[in-house]
Amino acid sequence: MSSLSKKDLINPEAQEDIKELKTKIDLFKDGKIDEERFKAFRLARGVYGQRQQGVQMFRTKIPYGKLTTDQLSVLADLSDQFSTGNLHLTTRQNIQLHYVNLDDSPQLWEELEAAGITGREACGNTLRNITASPAAGIDPQEPFDVSPYVQAVFEYFLRYPVNQEMGRKIKIAFSSSDKDDAYGFIHDFGFIPKTKLIDGKEVRGFRVLIGGGLGAQPFTAQEAFDFLPSDQLIPFIESGLRVFDRYGEREKRFKARMKYLIEPKRGLGLEAFLELAEKERTALPFPVYSINPEQQDIPELPKFNREKLSREFDRIKFEKWRAINVFEQKQKGFYAAQVKVAKGDIHSDTARKLSSIVKKYAANDIRITINQGLLLKFIPSLHLPHLFAELDELGLAEPGFDSFADITSCPGTDTCNLAVTNSTGLTVELEKLISKDYPELVGDKNLHIKISGCMNSCGQHMIADIGFHGSSIRNGDKVLPAMQIVLGGGLDENGNGLIAEKVIKLPTKRIPRALKTIIDDFQAFKSGGNEKFHRYFKQQGKRYFYDILKPLADTSAILPEEYLDWGADSEFIPEIGTGECAGVSLDVIGTIIKDAGEKLEKSNKELYQGRYAHSIYFAYSSMIIAAKAVLLSLDISCNTHAGIINDFQKHVVDENKIAWTDFKTSVLEINKNNPTVDFATKYNSEASEFFKKINDFRANQISNFDKVVVSEHYKA
């Protein structure tokens, strides 16, 4: 038996993370860290405030949704110990645990790390979980398996200095083929695998998309490259992150995303962005970064007992399940089974039993899917009836995965601060409606419904054929819970992304009738044909659907129950909190200078350990933050790193407030030099000298108190 303790299973960096989280919690409870400042710290460690006061949501970071059976069991056990016994599967292939006590979060994280799961950079202004096609590695249409490339990107950028405190989050997705099934078109960076003959040799690479996003103002991504060799994947992402960190908006949170940075009219534009990214390549530790995936083999699989099924099962349901939820892999003779998980919620007991079932019939490789389900791989045909029978006993063999009957929805007002209305309650009602009134559409994979509790699109409603997002309607002196209906989103037949259009807002209790109106109209139109809804919507036009739904918007005769949201027993009151996707609300000049000092300490540590690129970037961050502190003390606001550099040169150096030869030139040496030991040492020394001058300046400033600084300025 192994004598390894749990601590032995956790790498030193993760141990340091957990220790630091414990320390920060204690400092926060002792009143030594401002609440909003502490929020910025904990978010980057996966600890996210939820709607209910005094408890947290803990978000895991699971690249491309890959879990082992043991990891699933560990998550189930931890949910029982620290949460509610529920595992919530997300559209970003993560698992979230709700109602976690803040004091328990370090121990929870420690247990996760021992199982090979992290919470680092699961939230906050970081590079978030990297999603990918759940079918990667088994997709018959894929040029190659993108999984090893996703894993390499995840490992490279975890705890990487460049992406720790950006203006906003960065999201990356890898699809398995041209059909873009990971929705690269709505991501900051989207990658689609390609191969190309170069000098007679087949080279792997990616079509690259940049600047997609949903939220209140959706953007489809622009194509940056039609083919980027795979050894340029990580260097390109890093150079792009450096440009985003330096030029990205920080003051106006709404504009602080990649999609606005590369916008042609008000941003840099894609061409300028790519030119700046090219200039950053000099500073990269790896101008070329080869990823060499291991030879793909059939994984070790459980031995199959050919005995007859020991239980009776519904053979008609099995055939329907097999036809809809199962597909043959590119590895002939093996099948993948897709598991429909209602609302993305799976109870701990069910998760443990599922883990045992997978060990009997499939590969030890479970994938969380983008539509909040699960995918099981490498199932021999003979295993399928046995697998179905056991899944059916757990309630996990419902036909209709990724179809009209499989609605994607965020948690909504169940737990989210930003949600306006209840997404999950509506999801249950609509799935009941579809099962009862449209059984023939269960399994229709050309028609999808997605629901978000607000406009931020965590439920991805803006890329649904039929989407809903939470809202409200005032009716006299009362307010009705409502849903905004959007139509026509998704993917076309060629894998091109489509953004849905807003049509009409209706009381949420009328949404089932609205769905029937839309579907009955569509059914009548296609009359047995195979017309896609997005084409029908485009043909008919937004006004047509507005007109057929408008009678449902009449609020002259509201029923009492329409003032109740789904699942609620009291009248609706809009309660929108503050989202926690960004950093801080208030701080002071002295604290900002202290932040600069902490970055300088990290630069010193990285220099000592021989990680020169890391040391250089921390030194750069130290100088930027210190310069920002001085500018704010002079009432000069800051919204980008580039702006700080220019304004400090103009208002401080050129006006001889601080003696420094040329701040702009010295700080931007970062992208003009290779990350050698000599340059790292020199740059670190300059940052140290600069920090001393900033401290001297602050000490000599005539002020009776530390200047209070509004958060929007601080975020730069």
3-state secondary structure 434-498: HHHHCHHHCCCCCCCEEEECCCCCCCCHHHCCEEEEEEEEEECCEEEEEEEEEECCEECCCCCEE
- Of the pLDDT bands very low, low, confident and very high (cuts 50, 70, 90), residue 583 is very low
Strands (E), 124-234: 131-132, 172-174, 189-198, 201-210, 222-229
One domain, residues 593 and 547: no
250, 256 in Cβ contact below 8 A?
yes
The answer as to whether 120 is a domain residue is no
One domain, residues 270 and 175: yes
- CA end-to-end span of the chain, whole Å? 52
Q: Looking at residues 477-500, what average pLDDT do you find? A: 93
DSSP 205: E
Q: Looking at residues 657-672, what average pLDDT do you find? A: 94
Residue 487 CA to chain centroid, in angstroms?
23
DSSP 635: T
User: Whole-prediction pTM value?
Assistant: 0.92
Q: How many CA atoms lie within 13 A of 166 on its CB side?
A: 31
Q: Looking at residues 101-127, what average pLDDT do you find? A: 96
Q: How far is it, in rounded angstroms, from Cα 346 to Cα 366?
A: 14
One domain, residues 172 and 145: yes
> What is the sign of the dihedral through the CA atoms of 505, 508, 510 and 515?
positive
Confidence (pLDDT) at 312:
78
Q: Last residue of a domain, which of 367, 393, 419?
A: 393
pLDDT tens readout for residues 195-222: 999 999 999 999 999 999 998 899 999 9
Confidence (pLDDT) at 711:
46
| Structural domain count, the chain | 5
pLDDT tens readout for residues 9-64: 899 999 999 999 999 999 999 988 888 788 888 999 999 988 888 899 999 999 99
Q: Looking at residues 79-98, what average pLDDT do you find? A: 97
331, 378 in Cβ contact below 8 A?
yes
More confident residue, 637 or 429: 429
The answer as to whether 222 is a domain residue is yes
pLDDT tens readout for residues 586-609: 346 888 898 899 999 999 999 999
- Of the pLDDT bands very low, low, confident and very high (cuts 50, 70, 90), residue 529 is low
Confidence (pLDDT) at 307:
60
One domain, residues 244 and 319: no
Closest CA to 672 of 167, 225, 274, 242: 242
Query: With 0-12 CB in 10 A as exposed, 13-18 as middle and 19+ as buried, what is 1?
Result: exposed
User: How many other C-beta atoms lie within 10 A of the C-beta of residue 478?
Assistant: 13
Res. 279: pLDDT tops 60: yes
Q: Looking at residues 423-440, what average pLDDT do you find? A: 95
The lowest-confidence range among 64-73, 173-182, 455-464, 703-712 is: 703-712
* φ/ψ of residue 354, rounded to 5: -60, -40
What CATH number does residue 437 fall under? 3.30.413.10
Q: How far is it, in rounded angstroms, from Cα 437 to Cα 432?
A: 8
Q: Last residue of a domain, which of 114, 148, 164?
A: 114
Confidence (pLDDT) at 618:
97
Q: Looking at residues 275-289, what average pLDDT do you find? A: 96
Strands (E), 428-477: 449-452, 466-475
Is residue 7 classed as helix, strand or coil in its secondary structure? helix
One domain, residues 420 and 557: yes
More confident residue, 295 or 346: 346
pLDDT tens readout for residues 133-152: 999 999 999 999 999 999 99
Q: Looking at residues 55-76, what average pLDDT do you find? A: 97
Q: Looking at residues 524-532, what average pLDDT do you find? A: 76
Q: How far is it, in rounded angstroms, from Cα 412 to Cα 469?
A: 10
One domain, residues 415 and 352: no
More confident residue, 580 or 172: 172
One domain, residues 650 and 544: no
Percent of the chain's residues with pLDDT above 70: 94
What CATH number does residue 62 fall under? 3.90.480.20
Q: Looking at residues 76-95, what average pLDDT do you find? A: 97
Q: Looking at residues 112-130, what average pLDDT do you find? A: 96
The answer as to whether 121 is a domain residue is no
Confidence (pLDDT) at 311:
67
Number of H helices, E strands in the chain: 21, 24
Confidence (pLDDT) at 586:
36
* H or E stretch at 548: helix 542-549
Tokens of 475: 């009716």
pLDDT tens readout for residues 376-398: 999 999 999 999 999 999 999 99
Q: Looking at residues 306-333, what average pLDDT do you find? A: 88
pLDDT tens readout for residues 670-689: 999 999 999 999 999 999 99
The answer as to whether 401 is a domain residue is no
One domain, residues 413 and 556: yes
34, 586 in Cβ contact below 8 A?
yes
pLDDT tens readout for residues 229-248: 999 999 999 999 999 999 99
Q: How far is it, in rounded angstroms, from Cα 510 to Cα 546?
A: 15
Confidence (pLDDT) at 683:
97
β-strand partners of 172: 189
One domain, residues 30 and 136: no
What CATH number does residue 606 fall under? 1.20.120.330
DSSP 706: P
DSSP 88: E
Confidence (pLDDT) at 447:
94
Helical residues (DSSP H) of 84-232, grouped into ranges: 105-114, 147-157
What CATH number does residue 333 fall under? 3.30.70.3340
Q: Looking at residues 362-380, what average pLDDT do you find? A: 97
Q: Last residue of a domain, which of 240, 266, 283?
A: 283
Tokens of 439: 């059984």
Confidence (pLDDT) at 153:
98
Res. 106: pLDDT tops 60: yes
- Of the pLDDT bands very low, low, confident and very high (cuts 50, 70, 90), residue 308 is low
The answer as to whether 289 is a domain residue is no
One domain, residues 548 and 509: yes
Res. 581: pLDDT tops 70: no
The answer as to whether 216 is a domain residue is yes
Q: How far is it, in rounded angstroms, from Cα 162 to Cα 241?
A: 7
The answer as to whether 144 is a domain residue is yes
The answer as to whether 553 is a domain residue is yes
One domain, residues 413 and 559: yes
Confidence (pLDDT) at 52:
87
Percent of the chain's residues with pLDDT above 90: 79
Which residue range forms the structural domain that includes residue 332? Answer: 315-393
Q: What is the mean pLDDT of the chain?
A: 91
One domain, residues 171 and 261: yes
